[in-house]
């Protein structure tokens, strides 16, 4: 009976907290982006050298896209002749790094976890964007065709208009991820109430050096969004799993999921897709080990 009560309490409290956090942060980001035009964003990304990669990673981090919206955006940038390096920095950062994920991670796993996650993910997006461009992976882009085009943005003149539009978009995005959020919180609640702590410690505790890379690989077939993985990770941490392994699980699941790789294969050749998988894996393992060693 205590296990049931613990699980239910964990479920409802955490779901309420994450829901408010998601809508609040999404609204703030939406208002901020309303003051920046698409043309201005493309102009920023067209900078050559490291600055373009930094801006590409920032754009990927500030726009909470899922894979289904990352791909059209990537195609649009390629067709707009945005340099290859910044495009890759965007692709790497987009699924794993955004304010919603970071705010959830800080709120649930602590400031240290959020800082390491953000810094390693951002630097990986910038550095690997530069490296892949220097290695000539720009030739691994398929000839793609943009269909449909971008819809005209609504004219939002006043702050009130921008706030209403941002809040409406936040609620729409929340509805899109709600089922994933519920699944993650529900799994976390079951772990919290019913999974023996000794079992978690033995498999993925801080004393198991293989926990971090294994967690990164496990995330691939699970296709867990970061918003789904974080509540699961909280429950696992409370049961004894190392935070480093949880960070690796989140990065691996969000960045290397099989559906995302399938979508990327529609615009990138196999060699480049394989390189991106390696990039995400290295990022996940690096962030996990760095947290556990710090």
Q: 152 pLDDT band (50/70/90 cuts)?
A: very low
Helices 2-34 and 159-194 cross at an angle (nearest 10°) of: 160
Going by pLDDT thresholds of 50, 70 and 90, the confidence category of residue 147 is very low
Residue 266: give the domain boundaries. Answer: 2-293
Q: Select from 171, 121, 166, 225 the least CA-distant residue to 29.
A: 166
Determine the angle formed by the axes of helices 211-222 and 197-204, rounding to 10 degrees: 100
- Mean pLDDT rounded to a whole number for the chain: 79
Per-residue pLDDT tens digits for 176-198: 778 877 887 787 788 777 777 67
CA 97, CA 84: separation in Å to the nearest integer?
Answer: 20
Q: Angle formed by the axes of helices 270-293 and 111-134, to 10°? A: 150
- How far, in Å, CA of 94 to CA of 69, rounded? 10
Q: How many domains does the chain have?
A: 1
pLDDT at 31: 82
Q: Alpha-carbon distance 272 to 275, whole Å? A: 5
In tens, the pLDDT along 44-82 reads 777 777 888 998 898 888 775 555 556 667 777 777 778
- Predicted confidence at residue 289, as pLDDT, reads 92
Question: What average pLDDT score do residues 268-273 get?
Answer: 91
Which uninterrupted H or E stretch holds 271? Answer: helix 270-293
């Amino acid at each position: 009976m205590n296990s049931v009560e613990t699980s239910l309490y964990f479920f409802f409290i955490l779901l309420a907290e994450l829901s408010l956090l998601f809508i609040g942060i999404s609204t703030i980001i939406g208002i901020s982006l309303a003051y920046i035009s698409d043309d201005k964003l493309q102009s920023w990304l067209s900078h050559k050298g490291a600055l373009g990669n930094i801006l590409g990673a920032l754009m990927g981090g500030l726009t909470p896209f899922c894979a289904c919206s990352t791909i059209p955006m990537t195609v649009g940038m390629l067709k707009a002749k945005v340099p290859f390096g910044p495009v890759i920095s965007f692709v790497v950062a987009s699924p794993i790094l955004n304010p919603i994920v970071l705010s959830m991670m800080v709120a649930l796993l602590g400031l240290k976890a959020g800082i390491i996650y953000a810094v390693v993910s951002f630097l990986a997006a910038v550095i690997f964007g530069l490296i892949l461009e220097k290695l000539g992976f720009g030739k691994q882009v398929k000839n793609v065709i943009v269909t449909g085009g971008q819809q005209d943005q609504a004219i939002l003149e006043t702050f009130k208009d921008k706030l209403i539009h941002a809040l409406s978009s936040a609620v729409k995005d929340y509805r899109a991820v709600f089922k994933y959020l519920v699944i993650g919180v529900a799994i976390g609640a079951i772990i919290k109430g019913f999974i023996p702590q000794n079992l978690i410690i033995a498999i993925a505790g801080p004393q198991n050096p293989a926990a971090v890379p294994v967690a990164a690989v496990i995330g691939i077939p699970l296709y867990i969004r970061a918003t789904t993985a974080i509540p699961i990770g909280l429950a696992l941490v409370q049961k004894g799993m190392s935070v480093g392994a949880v960070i690796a699980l989140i990065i691996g699941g969000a960045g290397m999921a099989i559906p995302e790789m399938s979508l990327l294969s529609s615009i990138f050749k196999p060699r480049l897709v394989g390189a991106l998988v390696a990039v995400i894996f290295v990022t996940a393992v690096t962030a996990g080990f760095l947290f556990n060693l710090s």
